[in-house]
Amino acid sequence: MTSVAIVGSGFTGFECARRLSRLARKHNAPVDISIISPVDYMLYTPLLPDVAGGLVDARFVTVPLANTLNGVRTVRGRVDGVDFDGHTLTYTDPENRTRELSWDRLVLTPGSVTRLFDIPGLAECARGLKSTAEAVYLRDHLLEQLELANIDDDEKRIRGRRTVVVVGASYSGTELVVQLQALAETAGKQMGFDPAEVKFILLDLAEQVMPEVGEKLGEAVQRVLRKRGVDVRLGVTLKEVHPDHVVLSDDSCIDTRTVAWVTGVTGAPLIEKLGLPTERGRLKVQPDLQVPGHPDVFSAGDAAAVPDLTQPGKITPPTAQHAIRQGKVLARNVAASLGYGKPKQYKHRNMGLVVDLGPHYAVANPLNVQLSGYAAKFVTRMYHLYAMPRFVNRWAVSLAYLTDVFFDRSVVSVGLSTQDDARFSTSEGIPLPKAD
Ligand SMILES: Cc1cc2nc3c(=O)[nH]c(=O)nc-3n(C[C@H](O)[C@H](O)[C@H](O)COP(=O)(O)OP(=O)(O)OC[C@H]3O[C@@H](n4cnc5c(N)ncnc54)[C@H](O)[C@@H]3O)c2cc1C
C-alpha cells in the first residue's frame, strides 16, 4: 500500500484529499491517504468577518473533515518537522505527545499565518482574523467593551471602549470593519446608546483601500466607508500598541481597547523549519507543484510560491481561488506520480474578487466586470454559497443571511474564546520569541 500524507486541512489540503481519494477509487488504487491538521475541519475563511460581526455562527463556516473526505484518514496534530531522506514526519498530537508518520508521497499545504511586525505591544494587545477563535473573540470583546462603556463614568475610558482600530484596508480588513460596525449599530439600539458614538478607524500604509479590486472600485468602497462614518486613514500604521491606546506612525495617539491586525499573511511557521528554498516566506515549487529536488514532495496554496504562468516572473497571490484550484492539480499530479494519469502544470487566470461590505453593499469584479451595490451583493453571496464545499454549511449560512433580513443580529458574547485563546501564538500557532 502506498501512503500519501497531506499536511493541513485548509482549502488546498482539503481539495487535494477529496480529489485524490476520488482518483484512487476510480483507478482502484491501493493508496492510504492521511490528512494531518491541528483542527478537524476546513475553515471557510472568507466568512470570518461575518462571524466577527455576529451575522454567521462560527460552526457554519467550518466544514467537518469527517463525512466529507471519504476514504481519507484524518490525523489530529501539528506537524513539527519532516525527514525527507527517511520519508517520515513528526507531529504533536492534541495531548502534546510527539508522534511519527511515514509517507511515500508528501503534500505540504499548511497555508499561512498573520504576518506580524516588530511593533511594541502588537502580539500582546492586538488580535488577528485567521481563525474561528480570533473571529469569535473580536465579536465578544467588542460587545463586552460596549457593555462596560455603558456603565463607565470616565470619559477617556468610555472613548477607548467605544473605539475600534482595524489595521489593514485590503478586503478582509475592510469587510471586518463594516461587519463590526453593523454589530455595534445593533448593540446601540438594543443597549440604549447612540451607535454614532462608536468610532471605527481603518488604517493602512497603502494609499488606497482594497487595491485588489482596482482603483475605481477601491474609490467607491472608500466613499461608502466614509459615508458610514468610518475614519479611513491611509499612509499610516501602528507604531505602538498598549492595552488602552495606540500610537500611530504619524505620532498621533488614539484611545482604544480593540485593535484588529489584518495586514496580510506569510507562509506557515513549518515552512521555515524545512530548510528548503523559499520566496517571500513561501516554499519554492515548480509549475507542476513539485518541490525542486524532491520528486515525492509537493506543495501549493498560501504555503507555496507557485509560479504564475499567466504572469511570468510572478507567483500566484494567496487567495482561496488559487488554493482550491491548486488542490485539484496537486491531487492529479500526486496520482500521476503513482502511475495513475498524467501530470499537468498549474495555470489559472484570476477570475476576480467578491467583497461583502455589510448592510446593502458589496463590490465584485467577476471576470473583470465591475459591480457594486445590490448586484455585487447578490453575486457575492451566491458565490460564497456555491464555493462552500458542503450542503449543510450552505443551508446554515443561507438561513443566517435570511434571518438577518427579518431580525436584528444577536447582541451576545457567548464567551467561547478568551483573550488567551485568540492570541496569535495559541490560535494560529505562531511562535513568539518574546514574552507573550
Ligand atoms: C479573513 C479572511 C478572508 C479571506 N477572504 C478571501 C476571499 O474572499 N477570497 C479569496 O480568494 N481568499 C480569501 N482569503 C484567503 C484564503 O483564505 C486563503 O488564500 C486560503 O485559506 C489558503 O488556503 P490554504 O489551504 O493554502 O491555507 P489555509 O486555509 O491557511 O489552511 C492551512 C491549514 O493547514 C493547517 N496547518 C497549519 N500549520 C500546520 C502544521 N504545522 N501541521 C499541520 N497542519 C497545519 C491549518 O490549521 C489549516 O487547516 C481570506 C483570508 C482571510 C484570513
Please tell me the predicted confidence (pLDDT) of residue 436: 47
Strands 2-7 and 31-37, bridge-based pairing: parallel
Establish whether residue 39 lines the binding site of ligand 1, counting it when its CB lies within 6 angstroms of any ligand atom. yes
CATH number of 2-38+77-114+266-337: 3.50.50.60
Same fold, 2-38+77-114+266-337 and 122-263+352-426: yes
Domains of the chain by residue range: 2-38+77-114+266-337, 122-263+352-426
Burial of 20 (0-12, 13-18, 19+ CB in 10 A): buried
Task: Please identify, by atom number, the ligand 1 atom nearest to the C-alpha of residue 49.
Answer: 1
Helix (H) or strand (E) holding 73: strand 72-76
Judge contact between 239 and 251, C-beta under 8 A: yes
Task: Please identify, by atom number, the ligand 1 atom nearest to the C-alpha of residue 42.
Answer: 49
Establish whether residue 16 lines the binding site of ligand 1, counting it when its CB lies within 6 angstroms of any ligand atom. no
H-assigned helices in 243-390: 269-273, 320-337, 374-387
Q: Tell me which fold the domain 122-263+352-426 belongs to.
A: FAD/NAD(P)-binding domain (3.50.50)
CA distance 14 to 6: 9
Establish whether residue 141 lines the binding site of ligand 1, counting it when its CB lies within 6 angstroms of any ligand atom. no
Establish whether residue 270 lines the binding site of ligand 1, counting it when its CB lies within 6 angstroms of any ligand atom. yes
DSSP, collapsed to helix, strand or coil, labels residue 205 as coil
Judge contact between 112 and 318, C-beta under 8 A: yes
Beta bridge partners of 246: 241, 254
Buried/exposed code over 314-337 (b: 16+ C-beta within 10 A; e: otherwise) = ebbebbbbbbbbbbbbbbbbbbeb
CA distances 293 to 80, 84, 381, Å, are 21, 11, 43
Q: Which three cell numbers stand for residue 111?
A: 497555508
Please tell me the predicted confidence (pLDDT) of residue 386: 93
DSSP, collapsed to helix, strand or coil, labels residue 176 as helix
CA 158 to chain CA centroid, nearest Å: 31
Burial of 394 (0-12, 13-18, 19+ CB in 10 A): middle
Judge contact between 44 and 383, C-beta under 8 A: no
Please tell me the predicted confidence (pLDDT) of residue 433: 62
Judge contact between 333 and 342, C-beta under 8 A: no
Establish whether residue 130 lines the binding site of ligand 1, counting it when its CB lies within 6 angstroms of any ligand atom. yes
Helix (H) or strand (E) holding 246: strand 245-248
Distance (Å) from CA 86 to ligand 1 centroid: 29
CA distances 16 to 45, 312, 335, 409, Å, are 18, 25, 10, 36
Nearest Cα to Cα of residue 303 among 337, 263, 335, 330: 330
Distance (Å) from CA 403 to ligand 1 centroid: 28
Distance (Å) from CA 110 to ligand 1 centroid: 8
> Other CB atoms closer than 10 Å to residue 193's CB: what's the count?
17
Task: Please identify, by atom number, the ligand 1 atom nearest to the C-alpha of residue 304.
Answer: 26
- Position of cell 500604521? 237
Establish whether residue 323 lines the binding site of ligand 1, counting it when its CB lies within 6 angstroms of any ligand atom. yes
Beta bridge partners of 88: 83, 102
Helix pair angle (214-227, 171-191), 10° resolution: 20
**pLDDT tens across the length of the chain (436 residues):** 999 999 999 999 999 999 999 999 999 999 999 999 999 999 999 999 999 999 999 999 999 999 899 999 999 999 999 999 999 999 999 999 999 999 999 999 999 999 999 999 999 999 999 999 999 999 999 999 999 999 999 999 999 999 999 999 999 999 999 999 999 999 999 999 999 999 999 999 999 999 888 888 899 899 999 999 999 999 999 999 999 999 999 999 999 999 999 999 999 999 999 999 999 999 999 999 999 999 999 999 999 999 999 999 999 999 999 999 999 999 999 999 999 999 999 999 888 888 888 888 898 888 888 888 889 999 999 999 999 999 999 999 999 999 999 999 999 988 889 999 999 999 999 987 655 4
Task: Please identify, by atom number, the ligand 1 atom nearest to the C-alpha of residue 110.
Answer: 34
Distance (Å) from CA 111 to ligand 1 centroid: 5
Burial of 215 (0-12, 13-18, 19+ CB in 10 A): exposed
Please tell me the predicted confidence (pLDDT) of residue 216: 87
CA distance 87 to 100: 10
Judge contact between 235 and 167, C-beta under 8 A: no
CA distance 63 to 392: 9
Establish whether residue 133 lines the binding site of ligand 1, counting it when its CB lies within 6 angstroms of any ligand atom. no
CA distance 78 to 145: 34
Q: Integer distance in angstroms from the first to the last C-alpha of the chain?
A: 45
Distance (Å) from CA 198 to ligand 1 centroid: 31
Nearest Cα to Cα of residue 74 among 111, 45, 112, 101: 101
Please tell me the predicted confidence (pLDDT) of residue 373: 87
Q: Which three cell numbers stand for residue 164?
A: 475600534
DSSP, collapsed to helix, strand or coil, labels residue 305 as strand
